[in-house]
Amino acid sequence: MMRRYANKYRLYVTLAVMLIAPLSLNDSTWSRGAVQDSSDILTAQAIQKKKDEIYNKYKDQREKIVRSPQEMKEMLVGIQKQIKERNLHFVAELNEMMKYKISQITGARVPKNIEREAKVRSEAGNRLWEEFFKKYRERFRKKRAPDYEEQKKEDKKTESDKDTEEYGHREEEKQKDLEKREEKPDEIRTDIQNPPSPDAAAFSWVSRNMVTGVKIQGVCGSCWAFVSVAVVEANYLIRKKMSLDLSEQNILDCAEAQQPAYRGGRVVYMKSRAGSCQGGWYGPVFEYLRTHSAALESRIPYQFMESTCKPAGADQYRIMAWGYVKPDAGIPSIREMKEALCKYGPLAACVKVTPAFQAYRSGVYDECAAVSGERDINHAITIVGWDDEKGAYLVKNSWGSEWGEEGYVWVKYGCNNIGYGAAWAVASGME
């Protein structure tokens, strides 16, 4: 399913058509999960006008190209030489993304007080998660124990026998049975049905068809908005079996949150935007989506640039909790990353993009470029799986399906600060 939908996102020359497609009621691919009303139906004349407007905006983007074909070829020769000399394990080829500066097509901007913010947000998120999981576990017990009510009656009947040896033995057996029944879900403490195991040598949410199609951010530093939407869309697929196409434009234009700041040693909250085409961060987006719904792409299509905030309408696509895998938003260990992927689903995270990353076509990206520290990242991505034989995470990018392996890249464990800022979110309505 995901691979088929990914083909909707083709070369830049088709972007105008791509953005109008969600407005058509006849295209089931784009209307999946949507609640349509008469306001969504445009006349043929209005649709053509919208196409012209978006195509003109795309032409404006073409003026941002900074490399000529010859410069791109020279760049590729240097990268391929490096791959050969260092015996690296990925293939590099010419692609559309090499036309631009890295700063034009990335956009992850680490908040100044990320460690303190992560601590505050993660504590709140974990508290909400534990409250939810407690309720879930109780429902699980009732579902897995058909004799739940009968057992309560039996407990009342044997109340007077508490001091007997037989009663003590029976209670011990009941406890063992309950622990055995709960062993699998409690192992990684997740509400996901048939959860994957962090002990598996390889796993991918893509292989379970629980990841939506690859999208394209264009020449706008909105990767932070795309990764936020990717995580939420996957969550609705995994937990609610709903396939959604949510609006990155709505997030780009509207997402803002009360951010913790520190004045005189105390925490104060100040409202600020999550980001812009000059960059941003997904944490404020998740906080925003706790109280505001994401919009559908069919209502607010992507424009490749900032615009005025438009309301999401009657849509109700929110999250109930979110947090960072590490309480300081640092890079999780491989084990911690696997456990989080199994417990929550695909994760928002970051990586340092280099020219070699731009030119990636296939294989395991193992350049392992020099970094100045954990916060030396520039791009937000979605981690969807792992493979120990490859020694790499499977990453969903937002550069279209023509880039990499149909929009994906294998990034070697530990390379280019992969995983910094790893964050999870859980769809609302599960509680």
Interval 244-265: pLDDT, tens: 999 999 999 999 877 666 666 6
Length of the chain: 431
Determine the average pLDDT of the residues in 69-90: 98
- Under 8 Å between Cβ of 238 and 345: yes
Q: Which helix (H) or strand (E) holds 303?
A: none
Query: Which residues on neighbouring strands pair with residue 34, listed in sequence order?
Result: none
Q: Which helix (H) or strand (E) holds 37?
A: none
Determine the average pLDDT of the residues in 153-163: 52
**What are the pLDDT digits (tens) for 102-157?**
999 999 999 988 998 888 888 887 788 678 777 766 665 555 555 445 545 555 55
Secondary structure letter of residue 301 according to DSSP: -
309: confidence class by pLDDT, cuts 50, 70, 90: very high
**What are the pLDDT digits (tens) for 380-427?**
999 999 999 999 999 999 999 999 999 999 999 999 999 999 999 999
Structure tokens that stand for 118 in this block: 């992560």
Structure tokens that stand for 11 in this block: 């070369």
**What are the pLDDT digits (tens) for 322-334?**
999 999 999 999 9
Q: What is the pLDDT of residue 136?
A: 66
Q: 177 CB contacts (<8 Å, ≥6 apart)?
A: none
Q: What is the pLDDT of residue 128?
A: 81
* C-alpha Rg value of the chain to the nearest Å: 24
Residue positions annotated with a catalytic role: 223, 379, 397
Tell me the C-alpha distance between 48 and 46, whole Å.
5
**Is pLDDT at 161 greater than 60 in this prediction?**
no
Max mean pLDDT among 193-207, 286-300, 349-363 falls in 349-363
What domains are defined for the chain? Answer: 69-130+195-427 (3.90.70.10)
Phi, psi (deg, nearest 5) at residue 113: -105, 45
Instruction: Report the DSSP pairing between strands 319-324 and 275-276.
Output: unpaired
